[in-house]
Amino acid sequence: MSIVRFSFLLCLILAAPAQAEIYKYVDENGQVTFTDVYKKGARRIDLPGAPTPLQAKGKTPRRASYTPSPADFPRIDAGTQKRRDDIRRQVLQDELSSERRNADEARRQMTLGERLRPGERAIDTTYVDRVSKLRTTVQQHDQNVISIQRELANLK
């Protein structure tokens, strides 16, 4: 009878759910590895139906909520904040004008670079690479102008 009880207990223990965090790691060769040991660069995988680490410890996860600043937290008066905002606006406007100049110069360089040099054809890899780099530079400057304009529009 003791063997039956021992077998029954062993079955219960083995049937208990296991708790482990699972990590997915992709190495430099693209090899995907799933493991329960954290490795730098690995991402934790949340399995459906599995308890979160907080739930496994008997704690309930708290939702993020707005927590007001403590009463003794340093405050900035409106005048100081306005001066800071004005400085930020001026810096962004200076960056915008500089980036526009850089974009104009990049367009000028692209116009010059698109010209075929003596003995060069439009299908040569050197020509294609040069023009591609120049176009990428122009696009980057144009994107920077758009981003700075967006930042300026977001200022109060």
Tell me, yes or no, whether 93 lies in a domain. yes
118 pLDDT above the threshold of 60:
yes
- How, if at all, do strands 22-26 and 32-35 pair? antiparallel
Model pTM greater than 0.85? no
Say if 104 falls within a structural domain.
Answer: yes
Residue-wise pLDDT tens digits, 7-45 = 766 665 665 555 667 878 788 888 888 777 777 788 887
- What's the number of domains the chain is made of? 2
Q: Mean of the per-residue pLDDT values for the chain?
A: 82
**Is residue 51 domain-shared with residue 102, that is, in the same domain?**
no
Same domain, 92 and 137: yes
Q: Are residues 93 and 137 in the same domain?
A: yes
Structural domain includes residue 13: no
In terms of residue numbers, what domain contains 118? 78-154
Domain annotation covers residue 22: yes
Q: Would residue 26 count as lying in a domain? A: yes
Same domain, 26 and 91: no
In single-letter form, the type of residue at position 77 comes to: D
HSE value, Cβ hemisphere, 13 Å, CA-based, for 17: 7
Average pLDDT over residues 115-132: 91
